[in-house]
C-alpha cells in the first residue's frame, strides 16, 4: 500500500497521469487499515502539491499580463460565475471588455465587475437579453473576439422549453448572427458544457476515457428529462451548424462541474450544489462527476481565443471524483465542517471514469488541483456568508 501511495504522490508531483494518481490515492484511502497512515501523510502531500502549482501560476500571470493590450472583446452574461472570472482575467491581460448583463441597475450583477482591477479604464457594461433579437449587435461592434457564456443554468424548470431551451438556443443564434454581421470579429468562443459530451447512455467506468469525440444524445436526455443538458446540446448543435454555414471561426469550451472562488455576491447553480454538501446534509449522493476550477475555465476561454491553432471542442475536467471522495478531502481540510457521513443509498458506489486532458493541455491549460479548488470554494462560500463553521 505504501508503495502504491508513494507512486501516486510521485505521479501527482510530476503532474503525470494526475487523475489516475488521484484515483490511486483515493482508492488507497478506502482501506480502513491504511487510513491512519494516509491521513498522517495527506496534509504533507497536499502542501507539497499546492506550492509549485500556485507559484507557477503567479509567474505565468506576471509573464502573460497585457497580452490583450489594445484588443477589444465582448463577454455575454458577464455577471455570471464563470464570466466574472473571464472578465477579471481579460482585464488583467490588458483587454478592453464590452460586457453584457441583463440588469444594469442591479448592483448584485455589476458592483463586483466595476470593482475589478482595470475596470474603470477598460470595462464597458451594456444591457442585453438572449431573447431580444439584435440585442448584442451594438455591443459586438468593433470586437475582435466574442465570448458567449450567457445561458440559463439551473436544473429544475417548470417549463424547460421557455426557461432553458429557448434562451440557450435562440440566444446563441442571436449572438452568432450579430457576429457574422461584424467584420471585426475574428473568433467566437462559446461556453458549452460536459453536459453535451457524456449523456448518451454509454457506460462510464474506470477503464473508460471520455474525450471530445463523445456526444450526448438528445433522445437520452429527453427520456431522462435532463432539460438543462438538452438545452446545452441543442445550443451547441445550432452553434456548429450556424458557424459552419456562415464560416465563423468558433471554438466551444466544455467544462465539467465548476468549483473554485466566487467573485459575484450571489450563489450560482454549481456553487449551490457544493454548498448543499457542506451545509448540514446528512447524506451525500451516490454519484461521480468531473470537476474543474473556475479560473482554469476562464483561462481556457482566453487561450481558445488567443491560440491561433485552437479549434473544435475542448473538454475541461481536472479530475473525476465520487461524492465520497470529495467528503474525504473536505474532512481532511476542514475538520470543523459538519459533513454527511453516509451515502444516500446502499448500492455500490457509482464508479469514476476518466476524461482526456490531451486537448486542453494543447491549449496550455495546466489544471489547478482538485484539493485546491475545494479549499478555494469552501473559503469563498464562508467569506461570503453562505456557510459558517
Pick the closest to residue 323 from 305, 301, 336, 342 (CA basis). Answer: 342
We find the least distance from the C-beta atom of residue 382 to ligand NAP, in angstroms, to be 19
Residue nearest to ligand NAP (CB): 80
Q: Among residues 152 and 364, whose Cβ is nearest to ligand NAP?
A: 152
We find the least distance from the C-beta atom of residue 153 to ligand NAP, in angstroms, to be 4
Q: What gap in Å lies between CA 138 and CA 100, rounded to an integer?
A: 11
Residue 90 sits at φ, ψ, to 5 deg, of: -65, -45
Q: Among residues 86 and 329, whose Cβ is nearest to ligand NAP?
A: 86
Q: What gap in Å lies between CA 179 and CA 145, rounded to an integer?
A: 9
Query: Could you give the C-alpha distances from 155 to 61, 165, 273, in angstroms and in order?
Result: 35, 12, 11
Pick the closest to residue 149 from 248, 79, 213, 234 (CA basis). Answer: 79
Residues facing residue 258 across a β-bridge:
292
- CB-based contacts of 257, cutoff 8 Å, min separation 6: 194, 270, 273, 289, 290, 291, 292
We find the least distance from the C-beta atom of residue 188 to ligand NAP, in angstroms, to be 14
Q: What gap in Å lies between CA 92 and CA 57, rounded to an integer?
A: 14
Q: Among residues 24 and 373, whose Cβ is nearest to ligand NAP?
A: 373
> What letters, b where the CB count within 10 A reaches 16 and e where it falls short, cover 333-347?
bbeebebbeebeeee
We find the least distance from the C-beta atom of residue 145 to ligand NAP, in angstroms, to be 17
Q: Among residues 5 and 85, whose Cβ is nearest to ligand NAP?
A: 85
For residues 12 and 22, the answer to whether their CB atoms sit within 8 Å is yes
Q: Among residues 87 and 329, whose Cβ is nearest to ligand NAP?
A: 87
We find the least distance from the C-beta atom of residue 347 to ligand NAP, in angstroms, to be 25
DSSP per-residue codes, 303-329? HHHH-TT--EEEEE-SEEEEHHHHHHH
- Positive/negative CA dihedral, 199, 200, 201, 206: negative
We find the least distance from the C-beta atom of residue 349 to ligand NAP, in angstroms, to be 22
We find the least distance from the C-beta atom of residue 119 to ligand NAP, in angstroms, to be 17
Q: Among residues 14 and 265, whose Cβ is nearest to ligand NAP?
A: 265
Q: Among residues 294 and 327, whose Cβ is nearest to ligand NAP?
A: 294
> What letters, b where the CB count within 10 A reaches 16 and e where it falls short, cover 69-93?
eebbbbbbbbbbbbbbbbbbbbbbb
The residues binding ligand NAP (CB under 6 A) are: 77, 79-83, 101-102, 109, 129-131, 149-153, 167, 191, 193, 232, 255, 257-258, 268-270
Q: Among residues 178 and 193, whose Cβ is nearest to ligand NAP?
A: 193
For residues 107 and 179, the answer to whether their CB atoms sit within 8 Å is no
We find the least distance from the C-beta atom of residue 155 to ligand NAP, in angstroms, to be 11
Amino acid at each position: 500500500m505504501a508503495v502504491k501511495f508513494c507512486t501516486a504522490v510521485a505521479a501527482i508531483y510530476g503532474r503525470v497521469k494526475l487523475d489516475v494518481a488521484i484515483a490511486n490515492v483515493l482508492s488507497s484511502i478506502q482501506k480502513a487499515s491504511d487510513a491512519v497512515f494516509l491521513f498522517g501523510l495527506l496534509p504533507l502531500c497536499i502542501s507539497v502539491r499546492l506550492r509549485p502549482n500556485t507559484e507557477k501560476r503567479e509567474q505565468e500571470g506576471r509573464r502573460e499580463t497585457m497580452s490583450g493590450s489594445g484588443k477589444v472583446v465582448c463577454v455575454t452574461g458577464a455577471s455570471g460565475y464563470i464570466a466574472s472570472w473571464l472578465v477579471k482575467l481579460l482585464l488583467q491581460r490588458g483587454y478592453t471588455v464590452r460586457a453584457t448583463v441583463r440588469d444594469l441597475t442591479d448592483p448584485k450583477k455589476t458592483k463586483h465587475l466595476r470593482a475589478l482591477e482595470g475596470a474603470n479604464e477598460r470595462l464597458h457594461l451594456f444591457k442585453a437579453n438572449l431573447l431580444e433579437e439584435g440585442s448584442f449587435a451594438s455591443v459586438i461592434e468593433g470586437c475582435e473576439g466574442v465570448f458567449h457564456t450567457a445561458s440559463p443554468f439551473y436544473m429544475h424548470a417548470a417549463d424547460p422549453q421557455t426557461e432553458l431551451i429557448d434562451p440557450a438556443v435562440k440566444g446563441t443564434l442571436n449572438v452568432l448572427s450579430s457576429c457574422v454581421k461584424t467584420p471585426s470579429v475574428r473568433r467566437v468562443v462559446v461556453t458549452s458544457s460536459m453536459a453535451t459530451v457524456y449523456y448518451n447512455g454509454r457506460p462510464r467506468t474506470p477503464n473508460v476515457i471520455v474525450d471530445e469525440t463523445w456526444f450526448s444524445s438528445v433522445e437520452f436526455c429527453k427520456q431522462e428529462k435532463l432539460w438543462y443538458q438538452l438545452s446545452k446540446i441543442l445550443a451547441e448543435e445550432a452553434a456548429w451548424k450556424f458557424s459552419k454555414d456562415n464560416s465563423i471561426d468558433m471554438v466551444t469550451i466544455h467544462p465539467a462541474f465548476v468549483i473554485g472562488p466566487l467573485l459575484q455576491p450571489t450563489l450560482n447553480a454549481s456553487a449551490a450544489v457544493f454548498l448543499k454538501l457542506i451545509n448540514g446534509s446528512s447524506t451525500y449522493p451516490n454519484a461521480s462527476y468531473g470537476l474543474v476550477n473556475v479560473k482554469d475555465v476562464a483561462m481556457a476561454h482566453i487561450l481558445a481565443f488567443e491560440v491561433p491553432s485552437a479549434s473544435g471542442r475542448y473538454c475541461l475536467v481536472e479530475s473525476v471524483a465520487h461524492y465520497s471522495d470529495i467528503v474525504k478531502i473536505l474532512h481532511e481540510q476542514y475538520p470543523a465542517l459538519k459533513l454527511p457521513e453516509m451515502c444516500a443509498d446502499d448500492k455500490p458506489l457509482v464508479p469514476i471514469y476518466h476524461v482526456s486532458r490531451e486537448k486542453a493541455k494543447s491549449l496550455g491549460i495546466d489544471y489547478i488541483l482538485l484539493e485546491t479548488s475545494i479549499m478555494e470554494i469552501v473559503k469563498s462560500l464562508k467569506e461570503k456568508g453562505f456557510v459558517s463553521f
